């Protein structure tokens, strides 16, 4: 692989530098409020964000067509189809763009939530609309790895049996909830085409065919992320005619999607959800929750204790061309747009509280995502040290994974990471640099050593296509070791012990 030779020469000097170099280059230009990523960072510290109906969707988009790809994906927060690196949105990191460094992109660690889908949570009183999925074929099969047994290619087809008496209290339709909708599948294909345009055509990083020696794919054990991977990877490599390995860990101990057992994780969540601040947000939304509970027969702890289920149900509808639900008992009572927007704002507030704002967020992140954060940190380090020959890893996961990862990175405000929300860790190898970094180098004690090399590794973190805004500025150009330190702050020393205690 092409970087191995230079690496061999650079590993040692760069190791010497990384400890002494403490500069974190961040973009501190004031936020004018007009940039397309402003919709990602609402005032989530305030309960009034939830209760003030004037906030509406806070610039976000919560609707998408049923059976077509999302027409316009700009940089705006879009719950149904989050923006991603695309030719319209992608910019080189500012020092590279401004010419103060000459640098090459050598590796991308990409992770994303699956595309838009039907809901997990069917209204307890039953649904008044049918969901159609007969336009999507979910394929699956098993073959012997040596190809001696070629299976019949099969797809699943969900049907309804009119004799099944439970349909009325459930939902009448042809979906296997929470499966991807056709719109989700098409959005996935588009996501992949855009990734190719940026990291293939423009940056020349991705190989023209998926050579498994230097690209790697992983998913959670959920059929959703598997389905998403097959659509996105088809977008990246439209003409590839082989099959590809999608790596998974065993579901019961998976390091993503809360796979490994961790009783203390749920205990900690109960503590987090009993603070005064948490209770204030529940009190502020009591009327709304009571009204919805009566309308949809949903006065149950799982529907009332957080906004997860109502938000999931309403998003599933609006993001796939359906309308908001009405009561089955009294069709004149319906969830209104303002109700849905209040539910979505409350959902945003909760996500920010869980992964960012509460006092125990770091501990909660460790118990949930610490092992996956460690995998990322180790992989990035192996890339820097030249011990891993790879240009691209892509992991298909869930909102419940992206939340803690963004929390660990120090995101300024965390809105609920929408469908196909994504994070790209870009590793850049600096060939030559002038300007501010030189000043730092010259004033440091090991100036002489530093002068012998122009090399350094930097990382840029994009969240849904934009450099991630953190409390310390944008992660547009961060010394490699700084980023690893930040990730390692959330890597547990003894996760087995922490989880059982
Ligand atoms: C489901 O929908 C079909 C037609 O779309 C209708 O004929 C049937 O009665 C419905 N079943 C129930 C249980 O609502
Ligand atoms: C929900 O159930 C609780 C406990 O049974 C009850 O106190 C409360 O009034 C109910 N709320 C609504 C809106 O029915």
Task: List, run by run, the mean pLDDT of 10-residue segments along the chain (501 residues).
Answer: 32 35 39 69 97 97 96 94 97 93 95 98 95 93 88 92 88 95 98 98 97 96 97 98 96 98 98 98 98 97 98 98 96 97 98 98 98 98 95 98 98 98 97 57 38 68 97 93 96 96 75
Task: Give the per-residue pLDDT at 455.
Answer: 59
* Atom number in ligand 2 closest to CA 290: 13
Residue 236, Cβ density class (10 Å: 0-12 exposed, 13-18 middle, ≥19 buried):
buried
Alpha helices in 285-336 (DSSP H): 286-295, 301-304, 308-318
Q: Are strands 422-433 and 456-463 parallel, antiparallel or unpaired?
A: antiparallel
Residue to substitute in 122, 128, 129, 162 for testing ligand 1 pocket (most ligand atoms within 8 angstroms of CB): 162
Give the span between the Cα atoms of 386 and 5, in whole angstroms.
9
Tokens for 45?
């510290």
Per the CB < 8 A criterion, the answer to whether 316 and 117 are in contact is yes
Q: Are strands 469-470 and 473-479 parallel, antiparallel or unpaired?
A: antiparallel
Per the CB < 8 A criterion, the answer to whether 218 and 247 are in contact is yes
Task: Give the per-residue pLDDT at 48.
Answer: 97
> Which ligand neighbours the alpha carbon of 286 most closely?
2
Give the span between the Cα atoms of 256 and 222, in whole angstroms.
11
Tell me how many degrees the CA angle 258-117-292 measures, rounded to the nearest 5: 85
Per the CB < 8 A criterion, the answer to whether 384 and 14 are in contact is yes
Give the span between the Cα atoms of 450 and 440, in whole angstroms.
10
- 168 CB near ligand 1 (under 6 Å): yes
pLDDT in tens, 387-398: 999 999 999 999
- Nearest protein Cα to ligand 2, atom 4: 299
**If DSSP codes are grouped into helix, strand and coil, which group holds residue 275?**
coil
Give the span between the Cα atoms of 214 and 392, in whole angstroms.
7
* Atom number in ligand 1 closest to CA 168: 13
- 286 CB near ligand 2 (under 6 Å): no
Cβ neighbour number for residue 152 with a 10 Å cutoff? 5
Structural domains in the chain, sorted by start = 5-118+181-261+359-500 (3.40.50.1240), 263-341 (no CATH)
Give the span between the Cα atoms of 386 and 389, in whole angstroms.
7
Model confidence, pTM: 0.90
Tokens for 41?
């960072």
Task: Give the per-residue pLDDT at 435.
Answer: 53
- Nearest protein Cα to ligand 1, atom 10: 172
Q: What is the CA radius of gyration of the chain?
A: 24
- 172 CB near ligand 1 (under 6 Å): yes
E strands, 10-88, where? 25-27
N-terminal to C-terminal alpha carbon distance within the chain: 45
Long-range contacts of 72-77 (CB under 8 A, 24+ apart): 73/190, 74/36, 75/35, 75/36, 75/37, 75/465, 75/466, 76/36, 76/39, 77/39, 77/40, 77/415, 77/418, 77/464
Give the span between the Cα atoms of 260 and 221, in whole angstroms.
12
- Nearest protein Cα to ligand 1, atom 1: 172
CA of 53 to the centre of ligand 1 (A): 37
Distances (CA, A) of 43 to 27, 36, 440: 21, 16, 36
Residue 104 makes CB contacts below 8 A (sequence gap 6+) with 428, 429, 431
Residue to substitute in 299, 301, 333 for testing ligand 2 pocket (most ligand atoms within 8 angstroms of CB): 299
- 293 CB near ligand 2 (under 6 Å): yes
Greatest Cα pair distance, the chain, in angstroms, is 82
> Which ligand neighbours the alpha carbon of 134 most closely?
1
Tokens for 405?
């990862």
> Which ligand neighbours the alpha carbon of 287 most closely?
2
* Atom number in ligand 1 closest to CA 160: 1
DSSP states of 154-197: EEE-----TT-TTSTTS--BS--TTPBPHHHHHHHHHHHHHHII
CA of 304 to the centre of ligand 1 (A): 29
As a residue count, the chain comes to: 501
- 174 CB near ligand 1 (under 6 Å): no
* Atom number in ligand 2 closest to CA 299: 1
């Amino acid at each position: 692989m092409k970087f191995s030779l230079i690496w061999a020469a650079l590993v040692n000097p760069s190791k010497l530098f990384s400890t002494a170099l403490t500069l974190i280059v961040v973009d501190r230009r004031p936020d004018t409020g007009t940039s397309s990523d402003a919709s990602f960072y609402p005032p989530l510290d305030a309960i009034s964000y939830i209760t003030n109906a004037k906030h509406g969707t806070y610039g976000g988009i919560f609707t998408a067509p049923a059976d077509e790809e999302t027409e316009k994906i700009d940089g705006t927060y879009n719950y149904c189809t989050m923006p991603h690196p695309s030719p319209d949105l992608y910019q080189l990191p500012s020092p590279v763009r401004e010419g103060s460094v000459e640098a090459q992109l050598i590796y991308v660690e990409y992770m994303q939530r699956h595309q838009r889908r039907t809901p997990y949570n069917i209204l307890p009183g039953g649904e008044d609309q049918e969901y159609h999925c007969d336009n999507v074929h979910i394929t699956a099969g098993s073959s012997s790895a040596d190809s001696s047994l070629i299976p019949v290619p099969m797809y699943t087809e969900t049907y309804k049996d009119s004799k099944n008496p439970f349909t009325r209290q459930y939902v009448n339709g042809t979906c296997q909830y929470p499966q991807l909708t056709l719109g989700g599948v098409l959005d996935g294909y588009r996501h992949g085409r855009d990734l190719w345009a940026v990291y293939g055509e423009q940056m020349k990083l991705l190989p023209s065919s998926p050579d498994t020696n230097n690209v790697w794919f992983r998913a959670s054990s959920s059929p959703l992320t598997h389905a998403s991977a097959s659509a996105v990877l088809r977008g990246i490599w439209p003409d590839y005619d082989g099959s590809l390995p999608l790596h998974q860990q065993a579901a019961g101990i998976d390091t993503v999607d809360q796979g490994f057992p961790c009783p203390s994780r749920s205990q900690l969540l109960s503590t987090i959800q009993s603070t005064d601040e948490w209770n204030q947000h529940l009190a502020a939304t009591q009327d709304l929750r009571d009204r919805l509970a009566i309308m949809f027969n949903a006065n149950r702890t799982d529907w009332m204790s957080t906004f997860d289920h109502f938000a999931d149900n309403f998003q599933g509808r609006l993001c796939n061309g359906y309308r908001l639900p009405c009561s089955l008992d009294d069709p004149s009572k319906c969830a209104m747009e303002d109700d849905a927007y209040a539910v979505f704002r409350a959902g945003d507030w909760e996500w920010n509280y869980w992964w960012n704002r509460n006092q125990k967020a770091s501990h909660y992140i460790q118990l949930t995502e610490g092992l996956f954060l460690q995998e990322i940190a180790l992989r990035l380090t192996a890339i820097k040290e030249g011990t891993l020959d790879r240009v691209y890893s892509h992991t298909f996961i869930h909102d419940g994974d992206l939340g803690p990862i963004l929390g660990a990175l120090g995101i300024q405000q965390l809105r609920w990471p929408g469908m196909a929300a994504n994070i790209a860790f870009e590793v850049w190898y600096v060939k030559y640099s002038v300007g501010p970094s030189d000043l730092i180098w010259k004033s440091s004690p090991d100036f002489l050593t530093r002068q012998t090399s122009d090399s350094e590794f930097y990382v840029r973190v994009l969240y849904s296509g934009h450099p991630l805004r953190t409390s310390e500025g944008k992660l547009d150009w961060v010394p490699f070791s700084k980023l690893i330190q930040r990730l390692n702050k959330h890597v547990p020393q003894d996760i087995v012990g922490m989880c059982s205690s």
